[in-house]
Structure 1
Amino acid sequence: MAGTQAVRAGRRSLDIHRPDKVLFPADGNAKEYTKGDLVAYYRAVAPSMLPHLRGRPLMLERHPDGIDGPRFMQKNVPEHYPDWIKRVEVAKEGGTVTHLVCDDTATLVYLADQACLTPHRWLSRADRPHRPDRLVFDLDPSTGDDFAAVRQAALLLRELLDELRLPSAPMTTGSRGLHLVVPLDGQQDFDAVRAFAKDVADHLAEAHPDRLTTAARKKDRGERLYLDVQRNGYAQTAVAPYAVRALPGAPVAVPVSWDQLDDPDLDARRWTMADAVDQAGTNPWAGLASRGRSLTPAGRRLDALRG
């Protein structure tokens, strides 16, 4: 297995190395996908995916030998990456990290050639790293693949967020559950955003103690669904919309509409590389990016609800 394939990505032409290399082996009913398939997918989905990546530091989940081989979680940009790829240096405890920023199709295709299956994005932008413009609630089933419980929790959370006058949008994670994303105006720091998210989760869990919990330890949760807000922290990441997951069949994290969430056949791995581009074309989050809200009035409304 050798050779290269020239691929046009925007204004650049890139050489894809070993495009026939299998990254996702066939497994039962799961289809086989090669590196060439991964490149073609990210090239096709780029117009829908890039608005969710631009300007954000990324952590890269790489699987050079496919999903059955070692996994590398890459933060620092290697020196051999092309100089046209954008970088940003951000503070970390005891120093700095130089993250990659994906602003164009060529960068996305280059990452696919590096066997980056899954880009994970920051919830803040490189120019304001301490001020998130996204809040994420992470909803996974307590046991197995009970997606009905995830759907129910998402609807309860949406109802509460509507009361707080905060827009929200669901996304299948391509793994087991959903992310519920709230666009913010970027005026508050991570500590304030996470504290607000924790207050929302606590209020909802108190209202539905048999279904939901905010208990951090698994042994304290029982069969209740955990309302996880821990991604809302500095340098924490969340899987990017339209990112491929390192699982058999190449499932994809896909934004969905609230109407689609009502579909009883929906689950976290509903879309794969084979059909996620079609879903992206429906633009299920239309208008969400322009609706970032302040948490200050929402916090006052939550205080009033909690009495």
Structure 2
Amino acid sequence: MKIDGHEIELSNRDKVFFPEAGLTKGDLIDYYEQVAPVMVPHMKHYGVSMQRFPDGIDGDSFYNKDTPDYFPDWIERINFPKQEGGSFNAPVITSKAGLVYLANQAVLTPHLYLARKDNLNHPDKMIYDLDPPEDTTDYSVVREAALAIRQVMQELELECWVQTTGSKGFHVIIPLDCSADFDAVREFAKDTARLLVRREPDKYTLEQRKSDRKGRVFLDMLRNAYGATAVAPYAVRAREEGPIATPLDWQEIKDGASPRDWTIESLPRRLAQKDDPWAGIRKHGYSLSGRREQLDELLEQEEPADEES
């Protein structure tokens, strides 16, 4: 198969990757080839952590952070220093050929680092990972949490974007201008979450232990850290039916979108009928420094929650 001038030898297209749905490795490759024009622009500035399933979702899986030696030279690498010392070379996907090559290597799900390849210590996004409480599939509570985060951000004159995770919940993303380091971004994310907990302590929590959450939505901002990743927009998840991490517009959240509404089979139809809701996200990049004082004032207006004591 020749793509972008590169010859890619595809293998085992008939191997079943999603047994219940009957979807094969070939279906995975075809999906990524179809969505590449929309997906690659969201990937091309970031290193990728590769989640690989050589025998499909019922087989063993592993993460590749380091680009294997046998990957072709035309796939870009970025040297990524580790905090504990040493480094690894993460692949960077800048073309359809690169995305198809990953799929042929059984990379079911590409995960992106939160900082651009040329500025690894300063993220260009702040992220919240919202999942429903344990033992429930009531996604209305995480939709409500996403909208609550959006409301707080609007109070701080920040716009945010939302996507399904293709798993259990939603990601809310605020694009940044790379002026703040990870510590400052994580502290800001924590304090905006703390503001929500103070306002509605019966709905939201920052308790990391599941046993302490008591049916509340955990406002998970812990991904805002050096070396952390988030699932790439339009990535396939390792669940039956091949659900997709799908960028949404906010009206779709209000209308009741669920985390696994789109799949390998239905997502291309969606893109044929609807423009990418995240198409303009890279035109934005907010500074947090001028909003720190605003956030502190909002926090002072609310009584501390019981969990803060």
- What's the TM-score once normalised by structure 1's chain length? 0.94
Determine if the alignment matches structure 1 residue 216 to structure 2 residue 208: yes
Residue 45 of structure 1 is aligned with which of 14, 35, 42?
35
Q: 2:77 matched to which residue of 1?
A: 87
Instruction: Give the Å deviation of 1:8.
Output: 3.3
Give the CA deviation at 1:14. 1.4
The CA distance in 1 between the partners of 2:107 and 2:229, in whole Å, is 15
1:235 maps to a residue whose letter is G
- The residue number in structure 2 matching 1:132 is 123
- 1:267 maps to which residue? 258
Q: What is the CA–CA distance in structure 2 between the aligned matches of 1:250 and 1:187, rounded to whole Å?
A: 37
Q: Equivalent residue of 2:8, what SS?
A: strand
Q: Which position in structure 2 is the counterpart of 1:17?
A: 11
Equivalence for 1:287: 280
Please show how residues 143-292 of structure 1 align to structure 2 within 5 Å. 143=134, 144-264=136-256, 266-280=257-271, 281-292=274-285
1:247-289 deviation per Cα after TM superposition (whole angstroms, max 9, x unaligned)? 000000000000111123x210000001212334422123221
- Farther-moved stretch of structure 1 (141-150 vs 188-197): 141-150
Structure 1 segments unaligned to the other structure (5+ residues) = 1-6
Mapped partners of 1:245, 1:298: distance in 2: 35
CA deviation digits over 1:176-224, x for unaligned, max 9?
0000010000111101100100000011111110000011111111100
Q: How far apart in 2 are the matches of 1:145 and 1:277? A: 26
The percent of aligned pairs where both chains have the same amino acid is 44
Deviation, structure 1 residue 55: 2.0
Counterpart position of 2:306: none
- Secondary structure in structure 2 of the residue aligned to 1:170: strand
Moved more, 275-284 or 124-133: 275-284
What do you get for the CA RMSD once the two structures are aligned? 1.0
Q: Which residue of 2 aligns with 1:118?
A: 109
TM-score (norm 2): 0.94
Amino acid at match of 1:75: K
Q: How many residues align?
A: 296
Read off the aligned partner of 1:41 and give its amino acid letter.
Y
* Cα distance in 2 for residues equivalent to 1:147 and 1:177: 7
| Structure 1 position 10, deviation (Å) | 2.4
CA distance in 1, matches of 2:211, 2:174: 29
| Aligned twin of 1:55 | 45
